[in-house]
């Protein structure tokens, strides 16, 4: 059992190293230089050199990789080129919204799919069992982004029960939904 656990841990370590190398190589294959994100179009060669030194893209690739991997292993994700703030707290701020939404969506999808799946399997000889099975097949075939747009259109713009974007406070959400509802072509008046 211990040998199996050690083999799995070694495989995990090798997989992490391979993934880190692949991500680093793919990031370096992207066109452009990370320093360009800091500069305007009319930057001078001196400004470009200073920006490359700031982001480290003027160093040899092996040194860039070891610096990047070391920072990644210390959970130091660097600073945002746009806001000049550390990336870690920005991600944590977004997770405070993303995790509850993900949990709610997963729970809702699990409950709905269990009810539809069990009903379709148990009542497969009835018309509604066949209809539920067809509905499930349609759900697999339709692109998820299209379903998302339709759901936003119905629940946010039409019914006004959910915000159409962002994660505002309750009072901001109510004001915005009232203004959007007045412009929606099929909103109940």
pLDDT for res 3: 92
pLDDT for res 169: 52
pLDDT for res 5: 93
Average of per-residue pLDDT across 153-165: 84
pLDDT for res 56: 81
**Position 178 pLDDT exceeds 60:** no
- Residue 26: how many CA atoms within 13 Å on its side-chain side? 6
Range among 80-84, 151-155, 171-175, 185-189 with highest mean pLDDT value: 151-155
pLDDT for res 168: 56
pLDDT digits over 40-76, tens only?
A: 777 788 888 888 887 788 888 899 899 888 988 888 8
What is the DSSP code (8-state) at residue 56? T
C-alpha distances (whole Å) from 53 to each of 12, 32, 63, 86, 142 are: 34, 15, 13, 19, 48
- Per-residue tokens: 92: 């944590």
> From CA 30, how far away is CA 91, in angstroms rounded?
23
Residue listed under structure tokens 């009835």: 126
pLDDT digits over 138-150, tens only?
A: 888 989 888 888 9
pLDDT digits over 74-127, tens only?
A: 888 888 777 778 888 888 888 888 898 889 989 998 998 899 889 888 888 889
The values of phi and psi at residue 79, to 5°, are -110, 150
What is the DSSP code (8-state) at residue 86? B
- Per-residue tokens: 7: 């083999």
> From CA 149, how far away is CA 38, in angstroms rounded?
34
**Position 177 pLDDT exceeds 70:** no
Residue 33 or 101, more confident? 101
pLDDT for res 12: 94
pLDDT for res 8: 95
How far does the chain reach from its first CA to its final CA, in angstroms?
67
> From CA 116, how far away is CA 128, in angstroms rounded?
10
> From CA 55, how far away is CA 77, in angstroms rounded?
13
**Position 10 pLDDT exceeds 50:** yes
Q: Are 52 and 33 in contact (CB under 8 A)?
A: yes
pLDDT for res 124: 84
């Amino acid at each position: 059992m211990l040998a199996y656990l050690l083999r799995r841990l070694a495989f995990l370590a090798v997989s992490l190293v391979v993934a880190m190398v692949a991500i680093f190589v793919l990031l370096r294959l992207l066109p452009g230089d990370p320093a360009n994100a800091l500069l305007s179009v009319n930057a001078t060669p001196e400004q470009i050199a200073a920006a490359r030194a700031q982001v480290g893209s003027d160093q040899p690739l092996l040194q860039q990789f070891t610096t990047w991997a070391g920072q990644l292993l210390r959970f130091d994700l660097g600073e945002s080129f746009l806001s000049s703030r550390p990336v870690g707290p920005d991600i944590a701020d977004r997770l405070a919204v993303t995790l509850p939404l993900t949990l709610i969506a997963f729970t809702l999808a699990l409950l709905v799919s269990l009810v539809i799946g069990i009903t379709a399997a148990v009542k497969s000889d009835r018309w509604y069992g066949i209809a539920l099975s067809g509905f499930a097949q349609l759900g697999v075939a339709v692109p998820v982004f299209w379903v998302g747009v339709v759901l936003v259109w119905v629940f946010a713009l039409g019914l006004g029960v959910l915000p159409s974007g962002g994660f505002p406070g309750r009072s901001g959400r109510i004001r915005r939904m009232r203004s959007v509802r007045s412009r929606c072509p099929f909103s109940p008046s």
